[in-house]
Chain A
């Protein structure tokens, strides 16, 4: 399942369509601690977080994530969209809680 398909399943608002938009998601990490994200040695990950900061995107770029979905329907600072555009990182916002998003993502990936 690709990032664009996942955004559709989660009814997430796709704010930036980055390079990884059509990449198959190989791994999912749900965390608000960026050092925890950096510990994961998996390519093309989907990062689920409730943290709305530029550093989420910089971290996602460092680990080569396919994209970032911010949960809880948070209003993102405009700088986040700018950074996502600069880094060409796919960025979406989902209204579900982190827990509910994880379940929805798991269900969606199970079907593929």
Chain B
């Protein structure tokens, strides 16, 4: 009677309408892309085993004030007992039967390393109250409900605000047209050429709206674009962040691997580890870091083979002379 839980896959998601969240502010979109299901789910699980009775499940649900309880043994997930199952059991007079006989087994589950946007899409599609979460070894590691998502987003938004407020406090503010403060982060995925360059394009747009000098815009945009492409081509994925404050633009590309063995070599003209496929897309000429250095006033790279790389560049913005 037990059926394998179904995990949605990426191709499945492509055929679905976009979630309501697409019209949300950029910071929220970034959050739901950056956060993984594992960052949001409840990992401290209340569970029952297959031989436990529905009455025991009901008691636990009452005590813990939850509306669904996974049936699990040593990490192996078998099904879920929901309030609906309990109501049916009470009506049908089988509340003392083992959970294994009446639990819901046809379930859609999520994987813990899926982005939160994926979970939102599935709440939208299935209208379930919760989804069990499995890891790559198909072990039950958590459960996620809409309340978990609301809580996590509120916490993350509060952190983001704190960060902005702290930065405002540190920068005294400037006279003139460039006394803006901007801080943005963009997650960049490996080989995601469909989106590569979008972050740099957005950065350029913001700077143009703020009427920065065209030459400064160009330097910042070129640095951001090269670093974004580098993350896409050479890293296992990372984050491009930038901020403008106190007359300086700072762009940072940070990734978690695979690291550079010889940083000096990587910063030389024309040296590249890009393969033919990357070159056929117009990249991998070995000029990326050289170009970032060229447009930067300060340039710093730290890397270690086997771990991550961080590239930081600073571009000074000439402030208008006060009259």
Question: Cβ of B201 and Cβ of A55 under 8 Å apart?
Answer: no
CA distance A32 to B284 in the complex (A): 11
Question: Cβ of A43 and Cβ of B225 under 8 Å apart?
Answer: no
Question: Cβ of A62 and Cβ of B282 under 8 Å apart?
Answer: no
Q: Which of B197, B218, B286 contacts A58 (CB 8 A)?
A: B197
A107 in the interface, Cβ–Cβ < 8 Å?
no
Task: Report A71 CB to chain B, min CB distance, Å.
Answer: 14
Contacting residues of chain A (12-37) with chain B, CB-CB under 8 angstroms:
32-36
Q: Which residues of A contact B222 (CB under 8 A)?
A: 38, 62-63
Dominant secondary structure of chain A at its interface with chain B? helix
**Number of residues on chain B facing chain A (CB within 8 A):** 24
B51 in the interface, Cβ–Cβ < 8 Å?
no
Q: Which of A32, A38, A49, A87 contacts B201 (CB 8 A)?
A: A87
The chain A residue sitting closest to B287, CB to CB, is: A35
Known contacts A32-B282, A54-B193, A87-B201; A62 and B288 CB within 8 A of each other: no
Q: Which residues of B contact A73 (CB under 8 A)?
A: none
Question: Cβ of A53 and Cβ of B281 under 8 Å apart?
Answer: yes
Question: Cβ of A38 and Cβ of B225 under 8 Å apart?
Answer: yes
Question: Cβ of B196 and Cβ of A43 under 8 Å apart?
Answer: no
Known contacts A36-B287, A58-B198; A64 and B218 CB within 8 A of each other: yes
A-B contact pairs, 12 of them (CB 8 A): A33-B283, A35-B226, A39-B291, A43-B214, A55-B196, A55-B282, A58-B196, A58-B197, A58-B201, A58-B225, A62-B201, A62-B204
Residues of B that sit less than 8 Å from A by CB: 193-194, 196-198, 200-201, 204, 214, 218, 221-222, 225-226, 229, 281-283, 285-288, 291, 294
